[in-house]
Amino acid sequence: MGERAAAGGGKWVDVAPERLPRWLENFERRHGAYGETGLTLIAADGATATWQLPPGVAAVGTLAELIETAQRPRRIGLLLARKGALAAGVADGTELISSKVDRNYVQGRTAAGGWSQQRFARRRDNQAKAAAADGAGIVGRVLLPAVRDLAALVTGGDRAAVEAVLAAPELAPLRDKRSERFLDVPEPRHAVLVSAIAGARAVSVLVKEP
């Protein structure tokens, strides 16, 4: 699904739950037979693969348990926000079953100086606060009714925008369900929200070559 460099060496690879068996076959073909130590694989040539639990999956002790649990359908809340744009939804397995997308204008930065710059900064700040308040209302209507059934809340977009929305006191139950995973997504739209389901369900593995 995607790869990114890992701090300290190696790379993170995101694998769809349904593709885990095939990924393991390819890992063995490239690196030789492997042994398991918890959720870490150690291959014959010295390559390692350390798996992380995906959002909404409780602690498991073996890779087989991880695969079985990750492939089991679960409900995940999604909250994507970026500069006045917001998308919230509930995914059941791979399907988006409820959603809402909204867009509020937030003025960009200006190169003007002095009083003009301060005036624009105040206006931009007020617009951002209004967008966060509107976003919190949308999130509350879409996600709060489903919060008891959510295995996790996965967020993405711009961290400051997401934090501003979730700061609303009434969204405390959602903050308790929030996963550490943060998705890198463009401006939230319905298509972006649908594609984010794959990122929210994926199992991340840290691969280090010999």
pLDDT at 135 over 60: yes
Nearest one of 190, 185, 187 to 200, comparing CA atoms: 185
Element housing 159 (H / E) = helix 159-166
Domain 75-200 CATH (choose: 1.10.1040.10, 3.30.230.10, 3.20.20.70, 3.30.420.60):
3.30.420.60
Q: What is the pTM of this model?
A: 0.85
Summarize pLDDT for 65-111 with one digit per residue, the tens: 999 999 999 999 999 998 878 999 999 999 999 999 987 534 444 44
Cα–Cα distance for residue pair 116/9, rounded to 1 Å: 47
Q: What are the extents of the domains in the chain?
A: 2-72+202-208, 75-200
CB 80 within 8 A of CB 87: yes
Calpha distance 64→3 (Å, rounded): 23
